[in-house]
Amino acid sequence: MGESRELALTAMIIAAGGRVPSAAVEKPDRWHSVALADLLLLTMRDCSRSWVGAVLAVAFLTSTAPAQSKPIAGLNPRLLRLTTDSLEIYVVRQGDRERTGTIVDALDTVRVDGELRLQRVYRRTDAALGNGVDTLVDAFADLRLRLVDSRSDGGGVEHVEWRDGRVVGVVEQSGKATRQVDTAAASGVYSSASFDLIVRAAPLAQGYALTIPAFSGRQGAKTVSAKVVASETLPRLGATWRVEANLGGRSATYWIAKDSRRLVQQLVRVTPGIEILFLATR
C-alpha cells in the first residue's frame, strides 16, 4: 500500500526539483498514472523528455540483493481482519484538503500448493494518483513475500515472486526496455508493499518499534521502520495506535484500529505543507 504512493510522490518531487508542482494539487485532472510500485509514477501530459527521464530514474533503480529476513518476534497475522475496506484519498495543502479519489482494499486468504497465504487486492481510482490495481500475496504464517503484481494506467507493471530461494520477476515501463528481477533470498524476504500489514500484525503497544529489511522490484532492497508513539481515539473510527513509519526515506503516519487492526487512516508527507491523506469511510 505504502510503496505505490511513495514512488508517485517521489517522482513528483524529483521532477519539480524538490518541490511538488502546484498543478499536481490544484489541477489533478492534468495528471495521470504511468506506473505503480512501493508503487506508481506520475507524469504530466505535456511534460518534457528530461522530465520523463527524471521520473523513470525512480522506477528503474538497480535491484540489489535483498537482506535475508529474520522472523519478527510476536508477529500474529491472525490479528488481521479479513474484510474489504473503502478509503477516500485527499490532497492536503497548507491544511486545506481536496478529495481526489477512492481506494478499495480487500484482504482474504488463499491456499497455494498447500500453503495458506494472505492475499490483498488494492484498487485505486484517483484523479491525482491515477488508477491501478495491486495484488499482494504473502505467506500467512510469517508474512514473507510470495507475489507482488502491480499494474496501473500507462502500462506500468511490476510482477515479482519468491520461488525456490530466489525473488524473480519483471518490471515494465511504457517506452522502456523490460527489466528482469532475479536475486537470491534463500530464507525469504518481506515486501515493502506489505509493510503496513506487517506492522498491523505486530504486538503493538506504547513504544513498540520495528525495523526490517524489505524488497521492491522497482526500488530493490531497503530498510523500513515503524514505532508506536501514541494511543488516540478518532471520531467515527474509535481507539487506535498512532504509528510513525519511515518507508525507506519517506515518512508516514498510520492510525491502526486497536480492535480490528484495520488501517483506518494514513498520512504521507510529500514536502512541508503538502500531504496525502487516506481515510476509511467507516
β-bridge pairing 190-191 and 209-216: parallel
Q: What is the pLDDT of the chain when averaged over all its residues?
A: 80
Looking at this protein, which amino acid is placed at residue 79? L
* Residues 252 and 199 sit within 8 Å (Cβ to Cβ): no
Residue by residue, pLDDT tens for the chain (282 residues) are 545 444 444 444 433 434 444 444 444 333 333 333 333 333 222 222 222 222 223 333 334 445 556 889 999 999 999 999 999 999 999 989 999 999 999 999 999 999 999 999 999 999 887 899 999 999 999 999 999 999 988 658 999 999 989 999 999 977 888 999 999 987 889 999 999 999 999 999 999 999 999 999 888 899 999 999 999 999 999 999 999 999 988 899 999 999 999 999 999 998 888 999 999 998
| pLDDT for residue 68 | 56
pLDDT tens-digit readout, 193-203? 999 999 999 99
3-class secondary-structure state, position 138: strand
The predicted model scores a pTM of: 0.78
* Residues 247 and 2 sit within 8 Å (Cβ to Cβ): yes
Looking at this protein, which amino acid is placed at residue 109? T
pLDDT tens-digit readout, 150-173? 998 865 899 999 998 999 999 997
| pLDDT for residue 67 | 54
| pLDDT for residue 187 | 80
Grid cell digits, residue 239: 481507539
209 alpha carbon, distance to own chain's centre:
19
* Distance between CA atoms of residues 13 and 15, nearest Å: 5
* Degrees to nearest 5, angle at CA 36 with 45 and 274: 70
* Residues 8 and 274 sit within 8 Å (Cβ to Cβ): no
Chain length of the chain: 282
| pLDDT for residue 34 | 30
Work out how many domains the chain is built from and give that number. Answer: 1
Range of the domain at 59: 2-280
* Distance between CA atoms of residues 171 and 199, nearest Å: 26
Backbone dihedral angles phi then psi of residue 196, each to the nearest 5 degrees:
-65, -35
